[in-house]
Each structure stands twice: as structure tokens, then as C-alpha cells.
Amino acid sequence: NFFNLTFPSDLRLCLDKILLQCVLQSRTLSGADAINALRPFYFAVHPDFFGQHPKEREVNENSLKRLNGYLENLQKPGFRSFKPTQLTFYVREREPNSSNVQESFSASGFRAVSFTLHTRDLLSTVLDILNSCSLSTEHVQSLNVSSQPHKEAKSTVNRPIKWDKTYYSFTGFKDPEEELEQAQRVETTLLSWLDYNEASAVKKLKKSLPLRKELERLKIELSHELQLSDIRWQRSWGIAHRCSQLHSLGRLVQQRPEVLENVKGRTVVFTDRSGMSAAGHIMLGTMDVHHHWTKIFERLPNYYKLQKRLLLLEDRISQLLGGIQVIYIEELQPLLTLEEYFELLNSFYNKLRDSRLPFHPRSLRGLQMILESDRYAPSLHEFGHFMIPTVCDPAALQWFIFAKAQEARENLKRKEEMMITEKELISTSTERFSLDRLYKEPSVSSAQMIDCCKRLLEESLPYLQGMHLCVSHFYSVLQDGDLCIPWNWKN
């Protein structure tokens, strides 16, 4: 008998480690256990905690969708077709000496973490996620983990034994795990990814075409009937979801046409909550019922009055700051309600008025600024607008604006040139590859989009004919067949 042989102590220790690993491998997690084990991770990356950072929020939202899909597949009986999934998350940083979980994240801090999942069981996946994000795994040991593998594991009798690393160094055999890790380190290329995912994307796109036509029809009809400027969506919901929302609005139009008399010329945005946005758009919360939407439409006259007061407040701030224009940029700022933005402006105006800064009238005319509530120091954006914290010291603000005024003007001029270049490259790329649509996520800058399109135009990509291509931060095939590629793809 093999195990009755006498071995040297070091080899016996090696075998003990192997047996321990086999025991650990047999432990499995239930779906509920996995959710509990990942609570620290969800707390660190949940999009709701990134309200002031739209780019990071969107990246985390999309990555969580893909992670949840991976976890769901792990729990499907008999599921065998796995492909490595690369994820990127912005993880909120913990302060080193904080004991209170709710207060243990620094105000400014988050870091980008990227990792690839290729495990085939929940326990290994959970541990990989926690370790990749530098989160503790001690609580996983205390979970009620079954000592029996899942029923479907019975069919995997021929699964290779996972030997200790010393076994491979002693025998000279190749370590399959090490080979897999080396394969993962080879970055995904655009051509290989398109080759692998084209068929799936085409199938999903064809399936979505009737719904896409229905969505366009509903959007045109409602825009014409209500004389709307536009209908938008805050998030990248699926086509079916968007059609459902337009049907709901259409039913409200039929039931209560009188409450929709004040929407002429406005933009309707389907989002997470109802109200009016800082940009003056009518927000309809997708989780709200018609009763809530009706109230918003009835309040529109009052919202318009508040909007006039808000514009007057922006003018007063501009006068105090030498004619600099106060703007609100939806793509770069959190989605604020009209009331929230008014309070932000009012607080900043009172602070400026009391400080009596000596700005020469109209000396900063032509420059732009946005107000932010989550920063402590002013900065200058690459597009030329100043990013001013509401808590900024007035004296420091004055010095910063004077020091950066010329650079801001140069950036504003470069922004106009960049927007023209971006538009031309999108048009050229769409025509060159016979795309049905080419667009980008809001978190992708114009400079990144320009770089992406320029490199795309150097390639031969027959896969893209008739497709919808989205430039993002990662690879993905959306549920309606849109192809998402990272702006910095590799060739």
C-alpha cells in the first residue's frame, strides 16, 4: 500500500500538505454563503458610494453586472463552459487606524483594481476576489461551508489531483495551474476577442432588431405628441427595459393628458429618482409608479420658477468672480436635483459675497467653472473649465484662478478642436467599418476616443459590419448585441 510506506520527514510533510489541500478543495459554498462572504467587497465597490464620481460609478456598475453573471453561471448545474473574465473595480480605501466600518474609508480615496476570474467553484472565486482587492478572508473560514461537494461534482471523477508545488519541482512535470496563469498574463487582443465573440454578438443583435425599431417608433411618437426636445436614459438599460418605460409614459399620456401640458421643449430622462435635474431635465424614476410621475408633472411650474432663481444665482456668482461662467456638465458631475444644485450654489454664493474678493469686472469673461461638493482643492480640467470645491478658501481660489487663467483659455480652445476631431473620426470609422453605430461611454474622454479611433482605422476589421460598437474601459457583449471594447485595446 502506497500510504503505508515509510517516507522521510520532509516528504511526509509534503504529503500532509497535499491531503490538506484536497480537504480544502472539497469544501463548497452555497449562493447565500458567497453573498455573505463578499459583503466587505460589495461595501467597498458598491456604485451608491460613488455618487460624486460618475466615471468610477459606471465602471463599478458594469463590472458588478459581469461578476454577478459569472457567479450565477457557477451555480448552474452541469455548467462547464467557462472563459476567463477580466474585471476592473474602483475600491474605496480604508483609513489605516479606523475601527468604525462606516467611517473607515477616506474622503478622497479609491484605487483601481483589475483581476481575472477563471475559477470553477464559488469558494475559490470568493477568495480570489477578496485577495485581489486586499480584503480580509478570515470571515470566510467561519461560514457554514458544506463538507460535501455539489451533486454535479459527482460527474467529475476524472478531475486531476491538485498536487503541491514541490511535487512538480521534484518530478519535472508541468504545473497546469502555472501554465494557466502564464496564459492569463497574455493580454486579450482586439482581433482575438472579436473572433471569439462575433457570433454571440450577431445573434443577440438580430434578436434585438425588432425591439430597437419599436423603441425608435415609441420615442419619435412620444417626442412629437409631447413636443419634447429629447428622451434620454441615465444608464445603459437594455432595449426591452427602455421600451417598457416608454410604454408606461405613453399610458400616462392617455390617462392624464392634462398633467403633461407643461413639458413642451423639455428633455425627459429616465433615471433612478423623480424630479427635475440640475440641468433642467424632467427626471422620471424607473422604480416609481404613475402616481409619482403625475406629481412631478404637476409640480413643473414651481420647478420652472426655481430654475429662474438658480440662473440668477449663477449670474451673481459670475459677477463676483470677474465674469467667469458657472456651468453644469452632466457627463462629469453627479446627477443632482434642481433643489440640491440650488443649495450648492446658494452656499457658495454666500461665502463669496462675505469674502469680497477683488476680481476686476469681466476680467475672467470667457472662462468656465463647475462647482463640486466632494473636493477640497481647486483644479483645472483638460477641457479648460475650473473645478471649484464649495468649501474652497476664497483667497486660495483667487490665487488659483489668476495663476491658471491663461492655461484655461488654451485648454478651452483645444477642447473645440478636439471635439471636431472626435466627431470626424467617429464618422470616418463608422463608414470605414460599415458600423450601424459607433459611440462611447460617458466615462471615456475625447482624447481617449480619438486615440481609439485612430488606431482602429489602421486595422482591417471585417467583424464589425452592421454592428453597434461601444468604446468603454473593458471588453463585453451587451444583452442586445452591442460590442464593448476598451479604448486602449491591444493589437
pLDDT digit string (tens) for 230-263? 999 987 778 998 999 999 999 999 998 888 889 9
Q: Which of 366, 395, 417 is the last residue of a domain?
A: 417
Q: Are residues 203 and 338 in the same domain?
A: yes
In this prediction, residues 211-237 reach a mean pLDDT of: 92
146 domain-assigned: no
342 domain-assigned: yes
8 Å CB contact between 74 and 30: no
pLDDT of residue 16 exceeding 70, the answer is: no
Q: Are residues 128 and 211 in the same domain?
A: no
21 domain-assigned: no
Q: Which of 373, 400, 417 is the last residue of a domain?
A: 417
Q: Are residues 393 and 256 in the same domain?
A: yes
In this prediction, residues 443-467 reach a mean pLDDT of: 91
Structure confidence at residue 167 as a pLDDT band (50, 70, 90): low
Q: How far apart (Å, rounded) are the C-alpha atoms in residues 144 and 123?
A: 12
In this prediction, residues 467-479 reach a mean pLDDT of: 90
Model pLDDT, residue 53: 75
396 domain-assigned: yes
Structure confidence at residue 481 as a pLDDT band (50, 70, 90): very high
Structure confidence at residue 478 as a pLDDT band (50, 70, 90): confident
Q: Are residues 353 and 235 in the same domain?
A: yes
**Confidence (pTM):** 0.63
Q: Are residues 112 and 252 in the same domain?
A: no
Q: Are residues 282 and 196 in the same domain?
A: yes
Structure confidence at residue 28 as a pLDDT band (50, 70, 90): low
Structure confidence at residue 22 as a pLDDT band (50, 70, 90): very low
19 domain-assigned: no
In this prediction, residues 299-309 reach a mean pLDDT of: 95
Higher-confidence position of 332 and 456: 456
In this prediction, residues 207-211 reach a mean pLDDT of: 94
460 domain-assigned: no
User: Domain of 292?
Assistant: 192-417
pLDDT of residue 348 exceeding 70, the answer is: yes
462 domain-assigned: no
Q: Are residues 123 and 235 in the same domain?
A: no
Q: Which of 375, 393, 417 is the last residue of a domain?
A: 417
- Strongest mean pLDDT among 137-151, 360-374, 403-417: 403-417
8 Å CB contact between 231 and 267: yes
Q: Alpha-carbon torsion 117, 119, 125, 129, what sign?
A: negative
Higher-confidence position of 395 and 308: 308
- What's the total number of domains in the chain? 2
Q: Are residues 196 and 133 in the same domain?
A: no
Model pLDDT, residue 106: 41
Model pLDDT, residue 150: 41
β-pair partners for 486: 472
pLDDT of residue 162 exceeding 90, the answer is: no
Strands 483-486 and 476-477, sheet pairing: antiparallel
Model pLDDT, residue 141: 64
Q: Are residues 113 and 203 in the same domain?
A: no
Q: Are residues 32 and 110 in the same domain?
A: yes
User: What proportion of the chain, given as a percentage, has pLDDT over 70?
Assistant: 78
In this prediction, residues 387-415 reach a mean pLDDT of: 89
pLDDT of residue 319 exceeding 70, the answer is: yes
In this prediction, residues 148-165 reach a mean pLDDT of: 46
Structure confidence at residue 357 as a pLDDT band (50, 70, 90): confident
In this prediction, residues 456-461 reach a mean pLDDT of: 92
43 domain-assigned: yes
Q: Are residues 275 and 386 in the same domain?
A: yes
pLDDT of residue 391 exceeding 90, the answer is: no
Q: Are residues 31 and 133 in the same domain?
A: yes
Q: What is the average pLDDT value for the chain, to the nearest integer?
A: 80
C-alpha 182: how far from chain center: 29
The grid coordinates of residue 477 equal 457583449
Model pLDDT, residue 137: 79
CB neighbourhood size of 147 (10 A)? 8
Of 45, 55, 54, 47, give the one whose Cα is nearest residue 448: 55
pLDDT of residue 221 exceeding 90, the answer is: yes
